[in-house]
Structure 1
Amino acid sequence: MSDDRPVVAATRRATKTYPGVRALDAADFEVRAGEVRALLGRNGAGKSTLIRLLSGVETPDSGTVEVGGSPLGDGGVRRATELGVGTVYQELSLVPQISAAENLFLGVWPRTAGRVDYPRMRAEAREVFAELGLDIDPDAIVADLPLARQQLVEIARAFRARPRLLILDEPTSALAAGEADIVLAAVTRIAGRGVGVIYVSHRLDEIRRVADTVTVMRDGAVVETTDVAGATTARIVSLMLGEAADEVPERTEADVDRSATPLLSVRGLSVPPKLEDVSFDLYRGEVLGLGGLMGSGRTELLRAISGFLPAGAGSITVDGQRVTRPTPAVMKRLGVGITPEDRKGEGVVPLLGVSENMVLTWFKGASTAGTVSPARVDGIGRGLIERLSIKTARPDTPIVNLSGGNQQKAVIGRWLHAQSRILLLDEPTRGVDVEAKAQIYRIVRELAAEGAAVLFVSSELEELPLVCDRVLTMRAGRLAGEFTGADITLDTIMAAAMAA
């Protein structure tokens, strides 16, 4: 990357502190016109804070932010937009019920004689799509478009404003490999028109294809910026982890009899386009970790095993019995329980009590003569609350009033009540504090010691060595590595999850 290209955006000694946390520490960062700068770092490294500063969502406590040579100051998002910053966040912000063209011009519809000029809007939308090489019908309703096309509409909306700087936050995390190719091609076209691009992703194969340079952040600081071509995967992982790369946490491996019949066996499981040919075994008393970055297929794998997502191919066997037609009801009867990734949206019924939430999957134990007994619900709840150390004033306290960690323990307790012997835990420690994490680790190990088999999914790869007997990694819908014993370390897991 030649240094004579103008700097389109920069932070100079930018620092940002939240209560108890220094999220950004004297960060110097800049991106040039036509450059695609990859931004890498673990969770909490400071990437999101840096993006918020550049897009005007936050202002630094000290230091400066500049766009196009002008200070951003405290002008906020409006000032950043005026100076030429466009941001596409990981979560789509489109209106599904209206057309692609209407989304492109949302809030700034072209008008003639005081009325929205639809022919002009369609024509201009068609020009923007063509400029990016996109075959998207301006009249298509966004809800009817595949996810990759929706992502492209979001990017095109930001590009329509002719930004100096375009920030893309994990734009392909929810996409399969083939869909991601379309997004990468559009990013290359945008950079070719002189726009500086910040590309946040953990997919190193994509970064090597689309980025010129890579900045690695750690603990709120910019650690290093280097050319992508000269950066090996091992070097990038080492920069991201720092001293943590040398940490090997103490872990007592369970005595798992892998010569016995697996409690769960998966063979050739495919769910196009998210999963392809996944095979593994899970044994009694084992905690099997499943690590991978967002969009790697972890959640789809758990949903396919539990019957919520129809598989296109492959087989599932439970305790030697092949399941011919897995459905949630069938898998529950076979002893399979799943805690969803979206605890708030899918894991709890907010206004029901803690005890009521824990008996939802199996009313039999809470019923008398076919009628749910409040006394039995209360008794079951009290037992599980004590066993799982759930902090609540009463068993009938609405679960929405509990902390995230205590809600998560209650969701796990639901499957203990249902006497599940195979537990599929999708991000069981997401959004919980350190104390709650330690408690969940203890609960998982205790369940395994009692003979349960646990599949523990986490995007926080550093926690897998703390709780798992064996770890599988996923990348782009396929299994990418298996680690046991002393090989279960943060650097080996992360390298396998990120490598091309």
Structure 2
Amino acid sequence: MTIPSPPPGRPAPVPAAEASGLNKQYPGVRALSDVDFRIEPGEVRALLGRNGAGKSTLIRMLSGVEVPDSGEVRIGGETLGHGGVRRAVELGAATVHQELSLVPEMTVAENLFLGEWPRSGLSGVDFPRMRREAAEVLAELDVRVSPEATVGSLSLAEQQLVEIARAVRRRPRLLILDEPTSALAAGEARTVLEAVGRISASGVAVIYVSHRLDEIRQVARSVTVVRDGSVVDTVDVQEATTTQIVALMLGQAAREQEPFAPRTVDRSSAPLLSVRGLTLAPKLEDIGFDLYAGEVLGIGGLLGSGRSELLRSVAGFEPEAERTVAFEGRPVARPSAAEMKRLGVGMTPEDRKGEGIVPLLGVGENMTMAWFAGISGRAGLSSRRAAEAGDELARRLAVKTPGLDTPIVNLSGGNQQKAVIGRWLHARSRVLLLDEPTRGVDVEAKQQIYRLIRSLADEGAAVVFVSGELEELPLVCDRVLTLQNGRFTREFLAPDITLDDIMAATMAVEV
């Protein structure tokens, strides 16, 4: 299964990039441990690993963003050393990050040459040359957009291709693509995969970071699996099965975590919440599910699979979403955000800092702001009632804070998250839609949030739990639905929910 070395007697070509003995230690975390990596010109190598496995650290080393504590990186046979990003670019390394870095108000040509605009004597930017050379690069990749079009007018897939074209314009020998299709629908992703094929055919080595095995099998010859800061193996992606690759990613320890004791969920009565025909192009297509009182339902899907869009649509924050909703068996005529909140549906967003908290308001204010009626008296808001409600929530959720008037931004991520959940407990929500509730929190806080979720379900609430860390789902959930290409593909019921099955179902069409 391991990729063989060149036959004896035949000189190995100079690799496009090579890393040997890389080690990197952060406070309390060993990010990389004696990592060796090599990629040849024209090769597409997939890079796989769970969150925190070390993929991002390895990419930062190869692109010059960070320097290893020990070990060496070479690009085209030349040592990168401490030269940083500028040196990596000079040697021929280019990286396209997951988040787009384009300027929407500028044209495609201006974005391709951003910071490197060709000059025309003393008269300024040579716009004709810039448009001409931009058109040449776009034609090479078969990107059918005008160099004069503003980036903001393009589709997301076209913007991703422009981002890749900007990197290719520098004629790199190594191109690193970090989750280039995570925000794209399946049809849009194909155009990116075709561009990757053209790039590698020109002799450029491509490191392709993705969890979508169906895509990886289309573009890559081999896949390097990283686990716990070490390279576990490099295997032929066509010969290795999904089960084998998942086993390499997980290791034994991850599969041996103990879940909470399974509970019996009464699904004989009417669901607390029913959703049918949920469609939000291009992310979701004809989604339907039932959610029962006392149930923790997990949604398993890769980045870009539509997990957040699903929760936002159910909560009423996606006006363009088509869906039919029933609450306690009664149809909801207009499932707007205000109406869903009135019925008792609360949602904690994925972006806690940007959308979940009001940073400079106090902890108490953040926890009570969703239901002012609960802290009001005859003369309006009651400071006494607000203090009592805040104290009760803080005790129940074990929110560690110097005081309720402490700005919530001063709390740890875990305590911020517990406060955001507390907001919906204060509002007496019976359905909680939790989008990445443990992202960016420490191990202890994660366990506290797990226990909180289970206790809420024990009290009769219904919880939808979305997490990109798929290993969390078997630990907490009574049922898991896997989401891929805009549809639910599999259903797993406790106690027969395993991480292996969830990952296989989310990573590939065939399981």
SS in 2 for 1:158: helix
Corresponding residue number in structure 2 for 1:482: 491
Trace 1:69-468 onto structure 2 (pairs within 5 A).
69-114=77-122, 115-244=124-253, 246-247=255-256, 249-369=258-378, 371-468=380-477
Per-residue CA deviation, residues 327-367 of structure 1 (Å, 9 max, x unaligned), is 10010011100000000000000000111111221111122
Q: 1:272 deviation in Å?
A: 0.8
SS in 1 for 2:495: helix
Q: 1:486 deviation in Å?
A: 3.1
Corresponding residue number in structure 1 for 2:9: none
1:36 alignment partner AA = V
Per-residue CA deviation, residues 184-232 of structure 1 (Å, 9 max, x unaligned), is 1111111111000000000001101111111011111111111111111
Q: 1:245 deviation in Å?
A: 5.7
SS in 2 for 1:119: helix
SS in 2 for 1:465: helix
Once residues 297 and 459 of structure 1 are traced to their aligned partners in structure 2, the CA distance between those partners, rounded to angstroms, is 12
SS in 1 for 2:33: strand
Matching of residue 67 in structure 1 with residue 75 in structure 2? yes
| Structure 1 vs Structure 2 CA RMSD | 1.3
Once residues 319 and 242 of structure 2 are traced to their aligned partners in structure 1, the CA distance between those partners, rounded to angstroms, is 35
Indicate conservation of the 8 Å contact 1:245/1:491, yes or no. Answer: no
Q: 1:371 deviation in Å?
A: 2.2
C-alpha spacing 1:210/1:437, structure 2 compared with 1 (3 Å): same
> After alignment, is 254-263 or 331-340 more displaced?
254-263
Runs of 4+ in structure 1 off by over 6 angstroms are none
Q: What are structure 2's unaligned runs of at least 5 residues?
A: 7-11
Once residues 380 and 290 of structure 2 are traced to their aligned partners in structure 1, the CA distance between those partners, rounded to angstroms, is 39
Q: What are structure 1's unaligned runs of at least 5 residues?
A: none
Indicate conservation of the 8 Å contact 2:95/2:176, yes or no. Answer: yes
SS in 2 for 1:483: strand
Per-residue CA deviation, residues 112-136 of structure 1 (Å, 9 max, x unaligned), is 0130011111111111111100011
2:95 alignment partner AA = T
Indicate conservation of the 8 Å contact 2:489/2:505, yes or no. Answer: yes
SS in 1 for 2:53: coil
Per-residue CA deviation, residues 437-462 of structure 1 (Å, 9 max, x unaligned), is 11111111111111100000001011
Indicate conservation of the 8 Å contact 1:238/1:245, yes or no. Answer: no
Corresponding residue number in structure 2 for 1:47: 55
Once residues 320 and 120 of structure 2 are traced to their aligned partners in structure 1, the CA distance between those partners, rounded to angstroms, is 51
Indicate conservation of the 8 Å contact 1:251/1:466, yes or no. Answer: yes
2:31 to 19, 23, 30: 23
Q: 1:248 deviation in Å?
A: 5.3
SS in 1 for 2:16: strand
2:439 alignment partner AA = R
Per-residue CA deviation, residues 277-312 of structure 1 (Å, 9 max, x unaligned), is 211111000111111110111101001100001354
C-alpha spacing 1:203/1:154, structure 2 compared with 1 (3 Å): same
> After alignment, is 112-121 or 69-78 more displaced?
112-121
Once residues 376 and 458 of structure 1 are traced to their aligned partners in structure 2, the CA distance between those partners, rounded to angstroms, is 35
- Would you say how many aligned residue pairs link Structure 1 and Structure 2? 500
Once residues 22 and 325 of structure 2 are traced to their aligned partners in structure 1, the CA distance between those partners, rounded to angstroms, is 52
SS in 2 for 1:209: helix
Indicate conservation of the 8 Å contact 2:108/2:148, yes or no. Answer: yes
SS in 2 for 1:395: coil
Q: 1:6 deviation in Å?
A: 3.9
Once residues 192 and 101 of structure 1 are traced to their aligned partners in structure 2, the CA distance between those partners, rounded to angstroms, is 24
SS in 1 for 2:200: helix
Once residues 321 and 305 of structure 2 are traced to their aligned partners in structure 1, the CA distance between those partners, rounded to angstroms, is 17
1:349 alignment partner AA = V
